[in-house]
Amino acid sequence: MQATIENLFDHKPETYTPEHFALFSEFKAALNSGKIRSAEPDASTPTGWRVNAWVKKGILLGFRLGGIVDMSIDPAKLPFLDKSTYPVKQFGVNDGVRIVPGGSSVRDGVYMGRGVTCMPPMYINVGAYVGDGTMVDSHALVGSCAQIGKNVHISAASQIGGVLEPVGALPVCIEDEVLIGGNCGVYEGTVVKKQAVLGTGTILNRSTPVYDLVNNTVHRATDDQPLVIPEGAVVIAGTRAVTSGPGKDWGISIYTPVIVKYRDEKTGSRVQLEDLLR
C-alpha cells in the first residue's frame, strides 16, 4: 500500500480509476482502525515520535480523488458540502464512543479509541488519532493528523493543532494522561509528554520558549526539532519582563509558558478525571 500511494501521489495520473478509489478506501479503513497512523511513538527519535509521511500523502490523495458533493441532512437549513472522500465518520454502539448530542463532528479517517467522550460542539479532523478514555470537551478542536494518547482531557475551547503539509512535518502529539486546561492552544508540532498538565490559557508553539523554574532550564524548539514539554511538567501561562529599549521603560512584559512544578500526588488528585462521568 505504501509504495502504491507514494507513486500515485508523486505521479498524478490523467484520470483516477476504480482501482485507485478502491486503494483509497482500503487506506482510509486502516486509518479508521488505527492500523496506520500519520505519526507514531518511536523511542529512537529525540522527541519520541516519528512522522509517517506516506500516510499524510495518502490523506492528501483523498482530497485529489474526491469531488464536492452535497452531504446535507437538510440543504435549506444546514448545508454540508465537502469532498466525497471525506464524509463524517460513522459510529455504532459497539464502538464504545460517546458523542453527546449538540453539534459535534468527526471526519472520516480518524481513529477513535474505546471510551472516548465527545462533548458538544467539538471537531476532530481527518488523520487524527484519539486514544482510549480521552475526553474532548465543548468547543475543542483536534486538528488534522494530531496524535492524542489515552485518558487525555482536552478541556473546553482548547485547540490542538495538526498539520498535513509539509508531509514530513510532525503534527502535535499529546501523550497519555495529559490534562489540557480550558482555552489552551498547542501548535506547530509540539510534543507534550505523559502526565503533563497545561494550566488554563497556556499557548505552546515553536516560537515561544518554556521556562522551567524547577530545573533552571529553558525548553525551546530548534530548526529540526519541535518544542517538547517534559513528562509530568505543570505548565502555566506566565510573563517575562522586557529588559531593554522602550519596552523596559514602558514596563512591558511578554507572554511565556512557565513550568512551576512537576506532577505529584496533590496535582494528580486535583486533575483526576471524574469516573462517574464515564
Strand partners, 218: 211
Give 201-244 pLDDT, tens digit per residue: 999 999 999 999 999 999 999 999 999 999 999 999 999 999 99
Domain extent for 165: 2-68+86-265
Residue at 202 is within a domain: yes
pTM of the model: 0.94
Strand partners, 160: 142, 186
CATH code of 12's domain: 2.160.10.10
Residue at 277 is within a domain: no
Distance in angstroms (rounded) separating the CA atoms of residues 56 and 15: 21
Give 147-203 pLDDT, tens digit per residue: 999 999 999 999 999 999 999 999 999 999 999 999 999 999 999 999 999 999 999
Q: Using CB atoms within 10 A of its CB, is residue 91 exposed (0-12), middle (13-18) or buried (19+)?
A: middle
Element (DSSP H or E) covering residue 105: strand 105-106
**What is the side-by-side strand order in the sheet with 111-112?**
111-112, 129-130, 147-148, 173-174, 191-192, 228-229
Cα-flanking dihedrals φ and ψ of residue 90, to 5°? -95, 135
Number of structural domains the chain divides into? 1
Give 78-103 pLDDT, tens digit per residue: 899 999 999 999 999 999 999 999 99
Residue at 75 is within a domain: no
Residue at 80 is within a domain: no
| CA-CA-CA-CA torsion sign (26, 103, 188, 259) | negative
Q: Cis link prior to 121 (omega < 30° from 0)? A: yes
Residue at 139 is within a domain: yes
Residue at 270 is within a domain: no
Task: Tell me the three cell numbers of residue 29.
Answer: 479503513
User: Cβ neighbours of residue 188 under 8 Å, at least 6 residues apart?
Assistant: 161, 163, 172, 205, 206, 207, 221, 226, 227
User: Cβ neighbours of residue 91 under 8 Å, at least 6 residues apart?
Assistant: 97, 99, 106, 112
Residue burial 109-138, b: 16+ Cβ < 10 Å; e: rest: bbbbbebbbbbeebbbbbbbbbbebbbbbb
Give 14-49 pLDDT, tens digit per residue: 999 999 999 999 999 999 999 999 999 999 999 999
User: pLDDT value at position 271?
Assistant: 62
Residue at 274 is within a domain: no
Distance in angstroms (rounded) separating the CA atoms of residues 187 and 195: 18
